[in-house]
Amino acid sequence: MLRKLYYLLSPSQRLLVRRIVFYPVDLWETLTGKRDSSIPPRSMIYTGAGDFVSAGKVYVSFFLKYGGLQPHHRVLDVGSGIGRMALPLTTYLNEKGSYEGFDVVETGVKWCQKNISAKHPLFRFQHINLRNDLYSSSGHNASTFRFPYPDADFDFVFLTSVFTHMLPDETENYMKEVSRVLKPGGTCLATFFVFDAGKKGSHGNGKFRFEHNMGHYKLMDNKVKSANVAFESSYIEKKLAHENNLKIKHMIHGYWNGGPQSVENDFQDIIVFSKNKQDAE
């Protein structure tokens, strides 16, 4: 019920509500010196649930374990948010490595520029004005957006909780762009909500359910379509991977639909793609 009420608000109202709800906690932690100044205030964190610091560290461990991330890699963070993944990467990437991130929420980008880029010049953030009915009411269409980077520019690309908030035409364009900017042999790690058509329980579990079946994808809310989106597994394999010269290396199932929870997985499903090396000319 709270989730449905939250989705009734406009994107800017959702951010404002979070600022109001968490302001007392931020004020208390600031006055008592309990908040690390290198970590954004809770009222500004609009991505993900749970502990901000530990969630970032967990995903960096997934980048290493499943994606083969190396300290010298050039990295792209699509949907960089307010630095949840960037912060732990500042202590992992070395002087030969570099990081680029972009996001649709300008406040998050500005915080990262001020608090991360100022200390780590090889970490750069951009605000991209794109429409998304969960985060932004105006902007360009994500289904035609071209990433602002040259071809074959990155060793490693990751998208955490991005495709879970995008519709098929947007997702297809982003995967095409991911393939374009990846070096041959490069890796992409992305999270999804994955279902198998006809499989019992694939619509979700408990309070987290995808009730609106659109065929190769499902929606949690048909009024705020980007709130949560699930994709059929064969669509991911054939349309998103194969048609973009990508191969699925790993699929680590999450526990969003009632599956087991462990240190090896997360709430969302994790898929690791590799770009075919024969793309090199």
Residue 24 lies in a domain: no
Check residue 202 and give its pLDDT: 61
Q: Which residues pair with 250 in a beta bridge?
A: 272
Is 230 inside a domain boundary?
A: yes
Q: Is residue 141 part of a domain?
A: yes
- Is residue 277 packed enough to be buried (19+ CB in 10 Å), middle (13-18) or exposed (0-12)? exposed
Give the C-alpha separation, 16 to 14, whole Å: 5
Report the alpha-carbon distance of residue 227 to residue 247 in Å, rounded: 28
What's the sign of the alpha-carbon dihedral 170, 240, 49, 87?
A: negative
- For residue 21, being part of any structural domain is answered with no
Cα 213 to the chain's mean position, in Å?
23
- Could you write out the DSSP letters of every residue in 236-265? IIIIIIGGGTEEEEEEE--STTS----TT-
pLDDT of residue 259: 87
The confidence score (pLDDT) of residue 246 equals 98
Residue 99 maps to a domain: yes
Determine the pLDDT at residue 3.
57
Between CA 27 and CA 215 the distance in angstroms is 47
pLDDT at 36: 73
Q: Which helix (H) or strand (E) holds 270?
A: strand 269-275
Contact present, 192 and 244 (Cβ < 8 Å): no
Q: How many domains does the chain have?
A: 1
C-alpha 203 chain-centroid distance:
21
Coil/strand/helix, residue 183: strand
Q: What is the pLDDT along the chain (281 residues), one digit of tens a residue?
A: 555 555 555 566 666 666 777 667 767 777 777 777 778 877 777 766 668 889 999 999 999 999 999 999 999 999 999 999 999 999 999 999 999 999 999 999 999 999 999 999 999 999 999 977 666 666 789 999 999 999 999 999 999 999 999 999 999 999 999 999 999 999 999 999 999 876 655 666 666 889 899 999 999 988 888 889 999 999 999 999 999 999 999 999 999 988 899 999 999 999 999 999 864 44
The parent domain of residue 275 ranges over 48-279
At residue 134, the 3 state secondary structure works out as: coil
In-domain check, residue 202: yes
pLDDT at 11: 61
pLDDT of the residue at 134: 67
The answer to whether residue 251 sits within a structural domain is: yes
Q: Within a domain: residue 17?
A: no
Confidence (pLDDT) at 281: 42
User: Which CATH number goes with the domain that contains 223?
Assistant: 3.40.50.150
